[in-house]
Amino acid sequence: MSNTPLVWIIDDDDISKYVMKRNLRQLSVTNVIKFPDSVQPLKILSNNFESTNELPDIILLDLNMPILNGFQFIEEFKVANEKIKKDIQIYMLTSSLSSEDVDRAKSFPEISEYFIKPITLRNLSRIVDNVLQE
């Protein structure tokens, strides 16, 4: 991996995407792709199993989205991940305070961590640092 990870922000909320991208820029992370739902990212994952440069190092995944929610994305990701030749860290983000959502997120080993929105600059910094140290 280069000195800056490829980050995918999968979120239907434009304000959340804007804030996360701005905060990532403060951390010198400029390789960021934003998606309004999880359909296109799943297609990219499925079509680029071996092309690790096309795949993200970090996915910031919203839980509540149209078409496929974050948990449905994770279920689809699990299937694709068996063929992917890259370690992708997924961080789930949500405005939900539901303990059921937190517990369900913790049941997926594919989810590195679960954050209540808005994610702080400090937490983003920790995520980026963790990925860069691997």
Q: What is the pLDDT of residue 28?
A: 95
DSSP string, 106-122: HT-TTEEEEEESSPPHH
Q: What is the pLDDT of residue 2?
A: 58
CA distances from 79 to 1, 20, 82, 98, 132 (A): 24, 28, 6, 27, 26
* 44 and 80 Cβ atoms separated by less than 8 Å: no
Q: What is the pLDDT of residue 49?
A: 85
Q: Which of 117, 106, 120, 112 is nearest to 62 (CA)?
A: 117
- Give the other-Cβ count within 10 Å of 35's Cβ: 20
Q: For the chain, what is the mean pLDDT?
A: 93
Q: Which residues contact 68 (CB under 8 A, 6 or more apart)?
A: 37, 38, 39, 42, 76
Please give the structure tokens belonging to residue 36: 């309004």
Q: What is the pLDDT of residue 41?
A: 97
- Among 3.30.1490.100, 1.20.120.80, 1.20.1250.20, 3.40.50.2300, name the CATH number for the domain at 7-119: 3.40.50.2300
Per-residue pLDDT of the chain (134 residues; tens, 9 = 90+): 557 899 999 999 999 999 999 999 999 999 999 999 999 999 999 999 888 889 999 999 999 998 999 999 999 999 989 888 899 999 999 988 889 998 999 899 999 999 999 999 999 999 999 999 87
